[in-house]
Chain A
Amino acid sequence: MLWACILFPQLALDTVLRERDDPEAPLVLLGGPPQRRVLRAVNPAASALGLRAGQALTAARALADGFACVDVEPARIEQLQQLLAAWAYRFSAQVSLHYPRALLLEVGSSLQLFGPWPSFEARLREELAALGLRQRIVLASNPVAARMLANGHDGLALNCPQATRDALLDMPVERVGLPSEAAEAFARMGLRRLGQVLALPRDALARRFSAQVQLHLDQLLGLRSLGLDFYQPPDRFEARLELNFDVESHQALLFPLRRLIHDLAAFLAGRDCGVQRFELHLEHAEGADTVLKVGLLAGERDASLLFELARGRLEPLRIPAPVRNLRLLAADLPPFVPQHQALFDPRAQQAQPWDQLRERLRARLGDDAVKGLRAEADHRPECAWQGVEQGGQGHLVMAPGRRPGWLLPVPQVLAETGLQLLGQAERIESGWWDGGDVRRDYYRIETRDGLRGWAFRDLAAPGPLWLQGWFA
């Protein structure tokens, strides 16, 4: 078994930065009681202003101004960790959040599928960068060693227990996760490296230090295993994004929306499912949320497609009040079935599959805008066709040229001057069984301009000719 540890060295800061569209602007994270606010983390731009983590806010204000302050929110960090676990679940069945701010993945069994470790690692880094997170990745032969080596290394890949042990021997004692009093005691004894500690006789160590120390050292070397509880993906997706200021325009909503949808896509890929319906709640300072429902005909999980669909529905929406928060809910998660494509497709340069095109049209024009036609076995013109999702052939065979190609939505009264009736009348008398009884004599007519139409005289209410279609 091989374990990868992905450590997020500044998860709290990245949680905030990834949701802002100006990550280069100076920003600090605040913590501590209200009487004494302390800077918890600063981004590089703030660091250039002379701000450091650990400073009091009053001191920071004296040093510089023009930096944004954001409160640390443990709930949001926890939410992001859950999302990261969902993301990692697509790469490995054994994902653990045992250590804070770090993901543990068993990757030994995933290498068959995701390729040799260097390309696998590159892919992990690329996707994490797309999620807006800084990361350190270490591969080792057991999870505890991977986590502790990540304290001092980035990009280290150790395939066997011996190499792991060699790398551990060089680690400083205070950085391998020993209890703090034990680490301090070792340092006072002059033992700086873990190798020096491990060279000591085992029974002497056991006598001087608590059992916890020996257990941890054994787990580091893989002599004893650590009980990990593995991540189980939830059945629904819910994410909430606080905008921290009132947003009144659609444009300003698009960036956070894109971030939410990318998170959703990462979650879906991890669970190998698509989304068929999701809801976007626009929360206002007061009053009920504005709910935007996005429905698809088939499960999809492509981030750009989902974003475009959501955007298509968001843009025509009238929002009654400024938006405070965005929340995305997806409960209907059917299995994802990729589009079937033949190798020798007759239309070789099919850039966009029909399903995607249909969703795009529906997103902008309305749910019922795209439809097929089905011919029905009925002689009444109004009932002889139906707009349905998937068109189909009818069973009533009609000779070509007997019926007009275009039908008027409602029959129109036709002035009879200059009209020429062609041929005999055709009587259509049908529908007594469903209440839509018609008794009509249909004529083919030709107007003065030469247009050929289809008109009827109603036998139930004698009167003018009614035009119902054109032989186009």
Chain B
Amino acid sequence: MGAVVELDRLLDQRQVWRGRQAQARPQGLQPTGHAALDGRLPEGGWPAASLSELLLASPGCGELQLLWPTLARLSGEGQRVVLVAPPFIPYAPAWQAAGVDLRWLVQVDAEAGDALWAAEQCLRSGSCAAVLCWPERADDRALRRLQVAAETGNALAFACRPRQAALNPSPAALRIALDLRPAQWRVLKCRGGLPPAAPIACPGQG
């Protein structure tokens, strides 16, 4: 005879989870700045204190359009944003025009081997609000370290990776693939809910 199990207890033990979490978490809300995307993500924005993975068709295919509103909001609040070994030079006037407060933007130059270390240190420190990194050959363990560091430091971690990496599983809380033709975002995985089936059209590039 199976004992009667309370539903609440099952939920507490995370053995069963609700498909659609109704309650938002206003205190840790990290809106992406794109209303269409926010509406489709379970937390109403980036997963707070977690790793988000951006899977790019090729470098420079629209990752800044996606991230700039978030970086502008964070730097405008006086929180530090760190770019760890970006593949190109951030063109300062364009970043400023996008609303990013350059006083709170920091660039860290590192070799490929040290970039992951630097990103982890920045995330773990708790003095950075968002850390962007471009890990070239990051395995599952490296990404998990980034995820744990982001939780420890209560920071947003963004890893921009080539689209081929989408085939491998990843510990990231959110995975978004960026397509070029048509210009759209596809959510491949999001923690706490089913990923939306339909792709989300990019807002037109200005």
Contacts and interface: CB of A to CB of B under 8 A. Distances in A.
A385 B92 contact: yes
Interface residues of B, number: 57
A63 interface: no
Contact of B94 (A365, A391, A398): A398
Q: Taking each of B95, B102, B153, B180, which has the highest tally of chain A beta carbons within 10 Å of its own beta carbon? A: B102
Given A385-B93, A405-B68, A451 B58 contact: yes
A449 B181 CA distance: 7
B43 interface: no
Contact of A365 (B57, B79, B109, B152): B109
B180 A350 contact: no
Contact of A405 (B98, B106, B127, B180): B98
A115 interface: no
Contacts of A307: none
A349 B123 CA distance: 12
Contact of A351 (B102, B117, B126, B181): B126
Nearest to B110: A365
Contacts of A386: 92
B139 to A, nearest CB: 22
Interface string A363-395: 011101111111110000100111100111110
Q: Taking each of A361, A400, A405, which has the highest tally of chain B beta carbons within 10 Å of its own beta carbon? A: A405
A469 interface: yes
Contacts of A112: none
Interface string B82-110: 00001111111111111101111111111
A387 B90 CA distance: 10
A88 B135 CA distance: 50
Interface in A161-181: none
A408 interface: yes
A141 B117 CA distance: 57
Contacts of B87: 406
A472 interface: yes
A385 to B, nearest CB: 4
Contacts of A371: 106-107, 109
Contacts of B64: 405-406, 472
A364 B91 CA distance: 26
A236 B91 CA distance: 44
Given A352-B127, A394-B96, A471-B60, 9 more contacts: A349-B153, A356-B125, A375-B95, A385-B93, A400-B98, A401-B206, A407-B89, A451-B180, A472-B63
Interface of B: 57-65, 68, 77, 79-80, 86-99, 101-111, 114, 117-118, 121-122, 124-129, 152-154, 180-181, 183, 205-206
13 contacts: A347-B154, A353-B127, A365-B109, A365-B110, A365-B114, A370-B106, A370-B108, A370-B109, A375-B93, A394-B92, A449-B181, A472-B59, A472-B63
